Amino acid sequence: MIPYRAPSWLPGGHVQTIYPLLIKPQSLAYRRERWDTPDGDFIDLDWNDSAREPDCAPTPLVVLFHGLEGSSNSHYALSLMGALKAIGWGGVVIHFRGCSGEANRLPRAYHSGDSAEVDWILRRLKREQTDRPLYAMGVSLGGNVLLKWLGECGSSANTLLDAAAAVSAPLDLSVCGYALGRGLNRIYTQYFLQTLKPGAAARLKRFPELFDGSRLGRVNSVYEFDDLVTGPLHGFAGADDYWQRSSCKPWLSEIRVPTLVLNARNDPFLPAQALPTPDQVTASVRLEFPQQGGHVGFVSGSFPGKLDWMPQRALRFFLRGI
């Protein structure tokens, strides 16, 4: 696998982060399935089914957990699912609650440390797809949740997954959160708040006692949103408590499933000094920190560029462990 190097026409971490949003990967005809959750809510799964002959060996299945406010139509989801389709593997995008285009039933939403949600999803998938090798990939927020779950489960996760990959995970949520509130990074904050705040307002309309609605209009940072909405809504005292208890970095030393952790050193969301060192992870974890790539960027090729490097990197790891 060729190491990642950003094309010369795509300079800087911010450009490498924003530019992929302008690239339109080929759309896919997903098959949607709805699952009821253990607490009476629901999630939607979008399947990218790969045809296989009845007598053929079971094809592997790759499960994708998306990033903050992402979906099966996010550029990285379409790129991964397209790559899986090309080699005849199956894929499924797990929509976190409220991210599939329909409001969830309960007041709660989703958050960076929701490893209990990942747990029941993967256990059900393993029961229903028992004859297939199962791989999981998490991107950004989804990567943090997946890594936290892997660490919490330790060696028992090997009974569910053959391997895992996390791309651009905000490994230390406090460092990431404060980074998003400074300088040019505030453009990402405003991008996320464009959907987070209306979603919270709609939830408040249905459940008027959730939080102080008069404060929502004044929210202008991820910290303020998490302190008002995400943290208290999911049982945390506020943003600081939420970020501390939900970060996956302390759990990397407990992971026993072969796992790729891929973060660019110029990711504007997570400063390079916050990246883990080899002594902070187990032998099961492969750390890969290219100098370039931005946040879930990794554009390759000549202009206008392609988004195939990242899915190919994950697939190589799943296939060969390298």
How many domains is the chain partitioned into structurally?
Answer: 2
**Does 254 lie in the same domain as 236?**
no
- Final residue of a structural domain among 204, 223, 246: 246
**Does 205 lie in the same domain as 120?**
no
- Final residue of a structural domain among 225, 246, 267: 246
What is the pLDDT at residue 185? Answer: 92
* Beta carbons of 136 and 62 less than 8 angstroms apart: yes
**Does 73 lie in the same domain as 222?**
no
Judged by DSSP in three states, 268 sits in: coil
The length of the chain in residues reads 322
- Final residue of a structural domain among 219, 246, 273: 246
Judged by DSSP in three states, 41 sits in: coil
Q: Domain range for residue 197?
A: 175-246
- Give the H/E segment covering residue 176: helix 173-179
Beta partners for residue 167, in sequence order? 139, 262
Residue 46 falls inside a structural domain: yes
Residue 2 falls inside a structural domain: no
Dihedral (C-alpha) 139, 141, 144, 145: value to the nearest 10 degrees? -100
Residue 1 falls inside a structural domain: no
**Does 117 lie in the same domain as 205?**
no
**Does 316 lie in the same domain as 253?**
yes
Judged by DSSP in three states, 64 sits in: strand
β-pair type (42-48, 90-94): antiparallel
**Does 225 lie in the same domain as 260?**
no
What is the pLDDT at residue 53? Answer: 47
**Does 253 lie in the same domain as 208?**
no
**Does 196 lie in the same domain as 146?**
no
* Beta carbons of 272 and 261 less than 8 angstroms apart: no
| Secondary structure percentages of the chain, helix, strand, coil, to 5 | 40, 15, 45
**Does 235 lie in the same domain as 224?**
yes
**Does 129 lie in the same domain as 44?**
yes
CA distance 136 to 259: 9
Residue 77 falls inside a structural domain: yes
What CATH number is associated with residue 279? 3.40.50.1820
**Does 209 lie in the same domain as 131?**
no
Residue 7 falls inside a structural domain: no
Report whether the peptide linkage leading into residue 304 is cis, meaning its omega lies within 30 degrees of zero: yes
Which of the residues are catalytic?
140, 267, 295
Residue 6 falls inside a structural domain: no
Dihedral (C-alpha) 63, 68, 71, 76: value to the nearest 10 degrees? -70
**Does 20 lie in the same domain as 163?**
yes
> Per-block average pLDDT, block size 10, for the chain (322 residues)?
90 96 90 97 93 67 98 97 96 97 94 98 96 96 98 97 98 96 93 96 94 94 97 97 98 98 97 97 98 97 95 96 84
What is the pLDDT at residue 321? Answer: 85
